[in-house]
Amino acid sequence: MPDLRDGESVEIQGSARLPYVLKNVAGVYSCSCPAWRNQSLSIDRRTCKHLRQYRGDAAEQARLGRGLNQPAQPARAKITHAKPIAPALLLAETWNPQESPTGWWLSEKLDGVRAY
């Protein structure tokens, strides 16, 4: 199978009226087709049927390091910590100035919203 050298480009006829342009720039292969352009992967991880047709499935699989039928999934961080437990909010009561607030939680109600 032919391959593109660094900086080389080639036109390949696809389903559109105008041919698509395949490029190799520093090992990053690109195609001007919508399927390549609209992928939500970084440009060095994208492929399309035109690149596979020109370079061959084996070369594209070796370049990407995954099966061509397997879509690449962005890495997602796993959350391992538990959700913090918020203290229970109590209903508001009128404060008696004769009692000491020591040991009590106090909150202020601003504009109808109770915050803790």
- 1 pLDDT exceeds 60? no
Within a domain: 86: no
Within a domain: 41: yes
- The string over 67-93, giving b where at least 16 C-beta atoms fall within 10 Å of a residue's C-beta and e elsewhere, is eeeeeeeeeeeeeeeeeeeeeeeeeee
The model's pLDDT over 39-83, given as tens digits with 9 standing for 90+, comes to 888 888 888 888 888 888 888 888 888 655 555 555 555 656 677
pLDDT for res 111 = 65
pLDDT for res 39 = 85
Query: Per the structure, how many domains does the chain have?
Result: 1
Against a cut of 0.85, is the pTM above it?
A: no
Stated as kind and residue range, the H or E segment containing 37 is helix 34-37
Within a domain: 58: yes
Domain containing 52: what range?
A: 9-64
